[in-house]
């Protein structure tokens, strides 16, 4: 299992648009095969940084998921919404694997 962390730089005057975008992914992402943990919008501190986080089985599964998301009507509409409204200034993705057991529990072979 891998976790995708998406770091967004967003327009601080368009946080509400980003929140709409995040809610829209709440249905499309799980339907297309990833386990959405959530989207996180600015609350206090920096008003330009937001995150999206989901898990998926592997990078191969990620490639298939991307294709399904691209063909999903709600996914396409959300991509178009972001492009039209231009609230995302930058988007970076990183894929990480869990290096520690949940709650600090050590798993031994």
What are the domain boundaries of the chain? 2-104
pLDDT score for 108: 60
Tokens at residue 53, please? 């986080």
As a whole number, the mean pLDDT across the chain is 92
HSE (CB half, 13 Å, CA atoms) of 31? 13
pLDDT score at 99: 86
User: pTM for the full model?
Assistant: 0.86
Residue range 2-104 forms a domain whose CATH class is: alpha beta
Nearest 5°: the CA angle 28, 85, 11 is: 100
| Rounded-to-integer distance, Cα 15 and Cα 37, Å | 19
Please tell me the predicted confidence (pLDDT) of residue 83.
97
Measured distance CA(12)–CA(29) in Å, rounded: 25
Strand-strand pairing, 2-10 and 35-40 = unpaired
pLDDT in tens, 31-72: 999 999 999 999 887 899 999 999 999 999 999 999 999 999
Question: Is the pLDDT higher at 50 or at 98?
Answer: 50
| DSSP element (H, E) containing 60 | helix 59-71
Please count the residues of the chain: 109
pLDDT mean over 81-95: 97
């Amino acid at each position: 299992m891998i976790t995708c962390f998406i770091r967004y730089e967003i327009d601080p005057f368009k946080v509400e648009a980003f929140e709409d975008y995040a809610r829209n992914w709440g249905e499309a992402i799980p339907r297309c095969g990833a386990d959405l943990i959530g989207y996180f919008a600015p609350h206090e501190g920096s008003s330009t940084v937001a995150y999206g986080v989901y898990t998926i089985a592997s990078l191969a599964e990620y490639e298939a998921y991307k294709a399904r998301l691209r063909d999903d009507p709600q996914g396409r509409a959300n991509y178009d919404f972001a492009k039209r409204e231009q609230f995302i200034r930058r988007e970076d993705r990183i894929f990480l694997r869990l290096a520690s057991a949940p709650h600090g529990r050590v798993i031994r072979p």
